[in-house]
Amino acid sequence: MRTVPDTLARITRLKSGKAEPAQPRNRLSALTNFGSNPGALKAKCYLPKSLAKKPALVVVLHGCTQIPADYDAGSGWSKMAEEHGFALLYPQQVRDNNGNLCFNWFLLDDIGRDKGEALSIRQMIGTMVSRHKLASERIYVTGLSAGGAMANVLLATYPDVFAGGAIIAGLPYGTASTVSGAFERMRGHSIPKTRELRAGLRAASPHTGPWPTLSVWHGTGDSTVAEANARAIVEQWRGVHDVDSAPAVTETVDGQTRKVWRDADGRDRIALYSIHDMGHGLPLNVASGYGKSGPYMLDVGISSTVHIAQSWGLTRKLASGRRRKAAAKPISARVMPADRASPRDDKIRKVIDYALRAAGLKR
């Protein structure tokens, strides 16, 4: 609905002969019939006009209060995918699951292997790979905030599926099992010790390696998810990658600090980007041509989208070095076709709503 100032501005433009400013175009399409969908999620996807040889799949998880179309427009992922021939999958949270549209990274029924939201996303991935003949060894995941925490859930529970992941303003895997516990961890309180973090990661799946590469992005001025969580994620993953406690490289990239941990063969396994004074959001460099600033989309002179895509070999030929074995056989999409998300347990929904209201995050 247009406001009066909007209408007056539009009339003025028409009288002057100036064109209406272009409206953002939603590039995404609905993904349906992807499986039993125990997490009752929805999904969007993007396929470029021309897929590259052995096309990759990037799973992108939005943050709280966001929807895939807004996140895509802000991050620039579909523009990157169109130019370089890879596919995108955007799982979408629904209000019946979480009133603030957060992925439920803190509920045990949603963060276990072959459970809840994690399984729903795994089914989406299997459907995308089989339906569009994507390369099962080139599957990646990234997400912001609650989406970043859920990206870590997927990396922990399905490390056999992913070649790499990027967690932006997220949290370690398995550190909360209640809404109140989730808020405590977001503040940086009572984060488990390194030994417990690593034990939880190893217990999340029967996988023994190789493990997905990882980049972690966090603003030093983030007051929504404390920066301590970024350091905890690095500590959680250092164990499975068997890398030293000290980074092999500390450097400045686009004005920001980047630390890299390498394995015995000198390959990058973990990278930590600390964005000076940035608050809670996705780091962008709008001048790069990818993304646009907006709520939680922060133009700070470094494009996480560009750097993440480059690190995964999406913007050039597939990098040499380690080659992962093929992912596990895709989960059948014929169990219970899910054109629409089905309602979740009403008790879970009421607990989440109550906690959000108590915290002042929902009216």
Indicate which residues carry an active-site annotation: 145
Going by DSSP bridges, is the β-strand pair 87-92/29-30 parallel, antiparallel, or unpaired? unpaired
CA distance 192 to 98: 25
Which stretches of the chain are assigned E, i.e. beta strand? 29-30, 42-46, 57-61, 87-92, 139-144, 164-168, 213-219, 249-253, 256-262, 268-275, 282-284, 297-299
DSSP letters for 241-282: HT--SS-SEEEEETTEEEEEEE-TTS-EEEEEEEETT--SSE
Q: How many CA atoms lie within 13 A of 112 on its CB side?
A: 8
- Closest of 161, 144, 306 to residue 230, by C-alpha: 144
- Closest of 28, 64, 59 to residue 127, by C-alpha: 59
φ, ψ of residue 353 to 5 degrees: the values are -60, -40
CA distance 152 to 233: 9
Q: Is the dihedral of CA 268, 243, 58, 103 positive or negative?
A: negative
How distant, in Å, are the alpha carbons of 5, 12, 269 from that of 2? Answer: 8, 15, 49
Beta-bridged to residue 272, according to DSSP, are: 216, 259
- Closest of 161, 181, 165 to residue 217, by C-alpha: 165
